[in-house]
A and B are shown apart, each in its own frame.
Chain A
């Protein structure tokens, strides 16, 4: 009889919904049905377990360009040799693996003396830079649900990128002090596009793309009593609207800013986040105000937490000196390393650099050995010299993940992975052991 597993974590976005109900087949190998999960999460669950089309063996590229199945032992040996031969290998990804995998990757790259980076490098990396400079007056999603009567989404579109965020935490749910749900909150959306999130907003500010810093500055001027000096229009927004929204935020009982890629990817980058944090701090003169980054993948917060604990830095780690670590985005970040042709081997884990890096960076990385470790076929796997399939964390592997508010959650396995397929941690540990063996045998 099919079994229903409750309170399962969803392996899609940083909201990390942990109320998913999964119905699995008698033999525990297939997901039959999922409840309490968005359309994207549904696809991930339905592709887990032992189903047709799942890759079960590593695939090595042949001289004629085709891919040939090889054993996991061959894949481990090849990966270990690539890492040992390379002067400066780069391992990148980790948005869709568990924290145990992140720790294993750190062990491997520490031994091989390369660079280690995660997807934050191309999304919320600038948040880290601003947080280092200016602090992070943040909170948990539970506090937003229970307390926030004003919620601001700035350069963020949760209706598309975090589909259950609004219903679980930020807009619609009834909390301890927000018993009327949506009716007890004022929602403000600031975005150059009239997004689906803007459709549920009480106030929508269509900021001119790339001019967020000016608008933040205008809000700060209001906080500091200089509203008379604001021009009539700032970044496309009339002064009256700025004053109206500023008044709503100042009179809030509790306000939270959620910000996304609209700030991190636009001109200004870390400076946009820096001034957002300063505005949050200023608003605490009037009300209780917090800020939170809308982290993308379900465990992209994880590598930042794990590597900060291990090395003192969350991303863009340069381990080439072996005895010490340094981090310098712009120098040790994946896309910059690629564009300067500084790395001579690339390992892509739990992400798709092939699809999501600008194509000139992909072209540079492909000049050297290129390995993908991922459960599925993706654009990186299709240009790789070696593609290693692994378990899907949250579907056929358990582990710890960090939600966008830095709360760790234990994820569970709900179905069995195809026989013989390892987890990221098991594969990376095997690579590490093989590197130790090869070094002992005098390899190189």
Chain B
């Protein structure tokens, strides 16, 4: 069992994210579809948590709290996936290797259990990052 593990993260589209995005990004459907990290079952076990526990994901450019689930579109050990979304982009490095495309696939993240930390809403993530978030009032 480990306190934290180093994984290789990718972020790509999923149909659940696509449907929820068209319903609306501030919607609960978008939150439920995207505030997740899909991992290999053995990596979740190594963290000493059960599936559906919140974890903190930290990269070179940020951190985000999301819920860890076992990937249905399975990841091998060491690979993890956050669906293309506001939450994924909290940790995607903006470096582009001179192509214009940020490093959406293949960057290191540290994943650690955070069962008592709250997952931010999409609006809180983005408005909070630019200083516009005024709370849930």
Contact present for B100 and A330 (CB under 8 Å)? yes
Asked if B52 is at the interface (CB within 8 A of a chain A CB), the reply is no
Contact present for B99 and A129 (CB under 8 Å)? yes
Given A329-B100, A339-B94, A358-B61, answer yes or no on A379-B79 (Cβ-Cβ < 8 Å).
no
Distance of A361 Cα from B94 Cα, bound (Å): 7
Query: Can you name the residue of chain A whose Cβ is closest to the Cβ of B125?
Result: A359
Given A122-B101, A210-B105, answer yes or no on A379-B123 (Cβ-Cβ < 8 Å).
yes
Asked if A126 is at the interface (CB within 8 A of a chain B CB), the reply is yes
Contact present for B126 and A157 (CB under 8 Å)? no
Given A209-B106, A352-B25, A378-B25, answer yes or no on A43-B19 (Cβ-Cβ < 8 Å).
yes
Residue of A125, A296, A352, A356 with highest tally of chain B CB at under 10 A:
A356
Contact present for A43 and B22 (CB under 8 Å)? yes
Contact of A193 among B22, B25, B75, B93 (CB under 8 A): B75
- CB-defined contacts of B129 to chain A, threshold 8 Å: 359, 362-363
- CB-defined contacts of A352 to chain B, threshold 8 Å: 25
Contact present for B73 and A379 (CB under 8 Å)? no
Given A192-B10, A209-B10, A377-B24, answer yes or no on A358-B105 (Cβ-Cβ < 8 Å).
no
Given A333-B100, A363-B130, answer yes or no on A160-B24 (Cβ-Cβ < 8 Å).
no
Distance of A300 Cα from B18 Cα, bound (Å): 16
Binds B, one of A220-228, A265-273, A424-432: A265-273
Query: Can you name the residue of chain A whose Cβ is closest to the Cβ of B104?
Result: A265
Contact present for B99 and A330 (CB under 8 Å)? yes
Given A193-B81, A209-B10, A335-B100, answer yes or no on A358-B93 (Cβ-Cβ < 8 Å).
yes
Contact present for A366 and B12 (CB under 8 Å)? no
Distance of B89 from chain A, by nearest CB (Å): 5
- CB-defined contacts of B25 to chain A, threshold 8 Å: 352, 355, 377-379
Contact present for A262 and B102 (CB under 8 Å)? no
Contact present for A261 and B76 (CB under 8 Å)? no
- CB-defined contacts of B73 to chain A, threshold 8 Å: 157, 160, 193-196, 198
Query: Can you name the residue of chain B whose Cβ is closest to the Cβ of A370?
Result: B130
Distance of A378 Cα from B123 Cα, bound (Å): 9
Contact present for B132 and A383 (CB under 8 Å)? yes
Give 1 or 0 for each of B113-132: 1 = CB within 8 Å of chain A CB.
00000000011011101101
Contact present for B99 and A355 (CB under 8 Å)? no
- CB-defined contacts of A65 to chain B, threshold 8 Å: 132, 134
Given A210-B105, A329-B99, A355-B126, answer yes or no on A160-B84 (Cβ-Cβ < 8 Å).
no
Contacts across chains A and B counted by CB atoms under 8 Å: 179
Contact present for B122 and A355 (CB under 8 Å)? yes
Given A210-B105, A262-B12, A333-B99, answer yes or no on A354-B18 (Cβ-Cβ < 8 Å).
no
| Majority secondary structure of chain B interface residues (helix, strand, loop or mixed) | loop
Contact present for B61 and A330 (CB under 8 Å)? no
Query: Can you name the residue of chain B whose Cβ is closest to the Cβ of A117?
Result: B100
Distance of A228 from chain B, by nearest CB (Å): 29
- CB-defined contacts of B94 to chain A, threshold 8 Å: 335, 338-339, 357-358, 360-361
Distance of B29 from chain A, by nearest CB (Å): 10
Contact present for A157 and B12 (CB under 8 Å)? yes
Asked if A382 is at the interface (CB within 8 A of a chain B CB), the reply is yes
Asked if B111 is at the interface (CB within 8 A of a chain A CB), the reply is no
Contact present for A355 and B106 (CB under 8 Å)? no
Residue of B10, B96, B127 with highest tally of chain A CB at under 10 A:
B96
Query: Can you name the residue of chain A whose Cβ is closest to the Cβ of B18?
Result: A40
Contact present for A334 and B100 (CB under 8 Å)? yes
- CB-defined contacts of B90 to chain A, threshold 8 Å: 359
Q: List 6 A-B contacts (CB under 8 A).
A: A38-B15, A160-B18, A265-B10, A355-B85, A361-B94, A366-B130
Q: A329-B99, A335-B94 are in contact. List 14 more A-B contacts (CB 8 A).
A: A12-B18, A39-B18, A122-B102, A122-B104, A159-B15, A261-B12, A265-B10, A265-B101, A265-B104, A330-B96, A334-B100, A357-B89, A358-B93, A363-B130
Give the interface of A toward B (CB within 8 A): 12, 38-40, 43-44, 47, 65, 117, 121-123, 125-126, 129, 157, 159-161, 163, 192-196, 198, 206, 209-210, 261-262, 264-267, 269-270, 296, 315-316, 329-330, 333-336, 338-339, 352, 354-363, 366, 376-379, 382-383
Give the interface of B toward A (CB within 8 A): 8, 10, 12-15, 18-19, 21-26, 61-62, 71, 73-76, 79, 81, 84-86, 89-90, 92-94, 96-106, 122-123, 125-127, 129-130, 132, 134
